[in-house]
Structure formats: C-alpha cells, structure tokens
C-alpha cells in the first residue's frame, strides 16, 4: 500500500458533446493519474486524459461487459490504494442510473476519500438538442425518468399504470431494446395510442437522429428508420414540439464529424468554432513543434537565413512558421 492514500472522483461526462462537460469535471480529469472510463463517454473527452495517466476501459455494451461491476469497484479501490488521483469517468450523471452509489460503497468501507462531480444527464440534454422541452406549462408540469434496461430473460419492472395516469413527460433511458414492451405496457395501462412519442438516437453527436410518432406507431417507425443504440425514449405531448423547436440540425455543420490535426495547444480555438457551427470534433494532433537540436539542421537554417536578401517576398504559412 502506498504511504499516502489516493482519492477517487466520480465525474459525470455528460451525453457526448465535450461542451456539456462541466468546468469542474474537465479540471479534475486533466489532473488525473488514473482514469476508469465508460463506453458512452465522448471521444473528444477521452482525448483530454493526461498523456501520463493510466486509462482503463471498463465500458459496458448490451451482452458485452468488459468488466463486471464488482471488478470496476475493485479497480477503483486498488488504484486509490496505490496513492493515485483516480477519476471514474461516467456518461451522463454518475447518480442517475450510473451505479455511482454502488461504486462508493467499497471505497467508503476502506476509508478512501472521494468526491462527486455531477454531470449533464442525457434525460434532459438529448431532448433539448432535439427541440423537446421535457416540461412545458401548456403540456407537462412534471417529468419522470425511468430505466428501460432489463436483464436477459427478465420482464421490465415498471409500474406502467402509475406512469400512464401521471400526466407528465416520460423519459426512458437505456430502453431501445425494450421499446416493444414499453409501448405495449403503456397502451395496456390506458395511455392513448395517439400520444406523441419519440426515440432519440445518439443525441448531441454528429450521428444524432430522431423519430417522432404516435405511441402506437413508434415501434414500427423506429424499426423502419433503423434506430439503434444509444438512444432514449420520450413519451408525452411535448414531443410534438420537436419540429418547432429543433435547432441543432439547423446549424450549418450539423452531422459532420471533423478531425482537427493542429497542435494540441492551438486546436481548441478551431474546435470551438467548428462546434459552434454544429460539427462534432475530434482533436488528434499530428504536428509538433520542438526546438532544433541537430547541428546539421541548424547549419542549413543558418545558410537559408543568409540568403534572405535574394528574395522580394517571404510567406509564412502559420504563426509557428
């Protein structure tokens, strides 16, 4: 065991867009010595992991868990006991169906200090990026967030009767694979088949798509358009506002994913401008400027400088140039 105890930060990374990562989350991430990250964390956010930090992928996909929850808990404990600053980087918010509480239990039992850095949940951000306000004075005064995930071979544990009678907006996370059961459950509980509903795929990313249809037709329409995961399901009158308030797809570079190869210290400004225009960016620096150390190269540069008087025009292609 290290002489000095480490510490763990549970950081919510938001739904994908790096612009939705909180300032505190980014600051903690950039100071990490070990990062344990999930499948749904945006690539641009992962590229902010410090070069010298240990990066551990524990991402979970349906039917393909790289690490069990118990193994993830153990990894966090082990890295903290090594004296490291450990960031547990989770998509969305760590305390909203993120098993954040489970991961803290083992740390607390061993006296490991920790902090929680809340994140922007996809339950609010993804509808917003699709022009759907989850509450609206004329349509819904409450919002209910439900997990649509179920274990293989088991039925959904959802009180559809209460949801159908509640009158608020329903947001189902991790529910695409359970879409048929969700639709049938709500209809059987008395929710009208013409209730507006939506399936929102890959929200806040270049691959964002949405299907808006009546509840009774939602499954068929989502199937026709090939909607996949990750996606969330929204049910309620607010869904019919999507076409009116949709804004993200109106940006000129919506749907484009752009690789930015500029040096890391000069890439952020360009990336920000591209994101403002609706693009999803991936920073992958392929250029590095370093001091010249080779004597032969220095001599060639010296010869070139001596010949500058032979030219009428000198063009620089970059600030570094």
174 classed as catalytic: yes
What's the token pair of residue 70?
Answer: 């118990």
38 catalytic? Reply is yes
Identify the active-site residue in 5, 7, 60, 67: 60
Pick the catalytic residue from 17, 84, 174, 191.
174
Residues sharing a CB contact under 8 Å with residue 83, sequence separation 6 or more, in sequence order: 2, 3, 4, 5, 6
Where on the phi/psi map is residue 274: left (φ > 0), alpha (ψ -120 to 50), or beta? alpha
Q: Which of 38, 79, 84, 90 is catalytic?
A: 38
3 state DSSP class of 75: helix
Catalytic (active site) residue 60:
yes
User: In this structure, are strands 114-117 and 34-37 parallel, antiparallel, or unpaired?
Assistant: unpaired
Catalytic positions, please? 38, 60, 174
């Amino acid at each position: 065991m290290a002489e000095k105890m480490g510490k763990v930060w549970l950081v919510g990374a938001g739904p994908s867009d790096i612009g939705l990562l909180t300032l505190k989350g980014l600051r903690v991430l950039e100071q990490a010595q070990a990062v344990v990250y999930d499948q749904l964390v945006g690539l641009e956010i992962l590229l902010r992991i410090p070069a010298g930090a240990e990066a551990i992928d524990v991402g979970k996909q349906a039917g393909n868990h790289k690490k069990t929850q118990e193994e993830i808990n153990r990894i966090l404990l082990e890295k903290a006991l090594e004296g490291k600053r450990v960031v547990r980087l989770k998509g969305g918010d760590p305390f909203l169906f993120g098993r954040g509480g489970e991961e803290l239990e083992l740390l607390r039992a061993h006296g490991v200090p920790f902090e929680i850095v809340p994140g922007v949940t996809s339950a609010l951000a993804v509808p917003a990026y699709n022009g759907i306000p989850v509450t609206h004075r004329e349509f819904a005064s409450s919002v209910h967030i439900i997990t649509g995930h179920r274990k293989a071979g088991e039925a959904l544990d959802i009180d559809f009767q209460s949801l159908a009678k509640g009158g608020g907006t329903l947001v189902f996370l991790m529910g695409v694979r359970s879409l048929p059961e969700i639709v049938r459950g709500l209809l059987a509980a008395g929710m009208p088949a013409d209730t507006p509903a939506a399936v929102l795929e890959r929200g806040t990313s270049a691959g964002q798509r949405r299907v808006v249809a009546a509840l009774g037709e939602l499954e068929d329409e989502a199937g026709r358009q090939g909607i996949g995961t990750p996606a969330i399901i929204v049910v309620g009158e607010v869904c019919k506002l999507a076409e009116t308030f949709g804004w993200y797809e109106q940006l000129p570079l919506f749907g484009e994913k752009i690789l930015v190869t500029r040096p890391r210290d000069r890439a952020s400004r360009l990336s920000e401008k591209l994101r403002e225009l609706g693009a999803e960016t991936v920073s992958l620096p392929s250029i590095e400027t370093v001091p010249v150390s080779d004597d032969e190269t220095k001599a060639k540069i010296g010869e070139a400088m001596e010949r500058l008087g032979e030219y009428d025009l000198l063009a620089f292609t970059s600030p570094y140039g």
